[in-house]
Amino acid sequence: MKNYIHPFIILLFISVASFTSCKKDDNSPSPSSSSVLNSTIQQGNWRITNFNDSGNDETSDFSGYAIQFNSNGTVIATKNGSTTNGTWNSVIDDSKLKLVLLFSAIPFDHLNDDWHVIQQNYSIIKLEDVSGGGSGTDYLTFEKL
């Protein structure tokens, strides 16, 4: 008696093998990563512990400011009773989690950009911006007060 494999069984085997070999792209951020950043950044006040503008350390420009990110998308920086207002938002763009900042007053207007989130937890948020014009890479770090 001849061994005969039914074409249906072969087709079933190929189908199962192709479905089990697919895997999710691990480089794309999870849909909840933006909500995790939103939740974290709205808890308490923050200070800027590093602002490096294309190799120039400008952290001291932000010394003494307490920064509060509000749920309505506003951000308030306060120092000695004086306030600077801006807006913030988190987005996923080009498969990267970004924090978008927009201020109108000096020195905070230097932070206006869409920053890539490179590290975040309940007490620190590290950001990076690679200039498209080739003028360098900027780094910004917020730490919980």
pLDDT for 43 equals: 96
Nearest CA-CA partner of 128 in 136, 113, 117, 143 = 117
- The total of structural domains in the chain comes to 1
Give domain status of residue 17, yes or no. Answer: no
From the list 80, 95, 92, 90, the residue with the least C-alpha distance to 142 is: 90
CATH number at residue 54: 2.40.128.270
Residue 12 lies in a domain: no
Domain, as residue range, for 91: 26-144
Does 18 fall in a domain?
no
In a domain? residue 67 = yes
pLDDT digit of tens for each residue in the chain (145 aa)?
555 555 555 554 555 454 444 444 444 445 457 889 999 999 999 999 999 999 999 999 999 999 999 999 999 999 999 999 999 999 999 889 999 999 999 999 999 999 999 999 999 999 999 877 767 899 999 999 9
Alpha-carbon Rg for the chain, nearest whole angstrom, is: 23
Closest listed residue to residue 127, CA positions, set 106, 96, 105, 83? 96
Tell me how far apart the alpha carbons of residues 144 and 49 are, in angstroms, rounded to a whole number: 10
